[in-house]
Amino acid sequence: MENTTKKAMSIRKSRELSEQLENVVLENGGTTLHSAKYHLLPADLRTPPTESVASLLISTSPPSSHREGPILSPDLPTLLLFECVLVYVAPEASRAFIQWFVDYFASSSVLGAVVYEMFGLNDPFGAVMVENLKVRGVSLPGAEPYPTFESLPQRFTRHKFTTSKALTLHEIRKTLISSEEMQRISSLEMLDEIEELDLVLAHYAVTWGVKLPSDQQLSPASKWIEWGLKAPACSDHPDSDSD
Judge residue 201's burial from the number of C-beta atoms within 10 Å of its C-beta, 0-12 exposed, 13-18 middle, 19 or more buried: middle
CATH of domain 73-243: 3.40.50.150
Going from N- to C-terminal start, the domains of the chain cover 1-72, 73-243
Is-contact 100 49, C-beta < 8 A?
yes
Over residues 186-228, the pLDDT tens digits come to 888 777 778 888 999 999 999 999 998 877 766 655 677 778 8
User: Do residues 36 and 25 lie in contact, with contact meaning Cβ atoms separated by under 8 Å?
Assistant: no
Helices of type H across 144-225: 154-157, 169-175, 179-189, 194-201
pLDDT per residue as tens digits for the range 63-91? 555 556 788 888 889 999 999 999 999 99
pTM of the model: 0.85
pLDDT, mean of residues 117-142: 93
Closest C-alpha among 209, 197, 101, 86 to residue 144: 86
Average pLDDT along the chain: 86
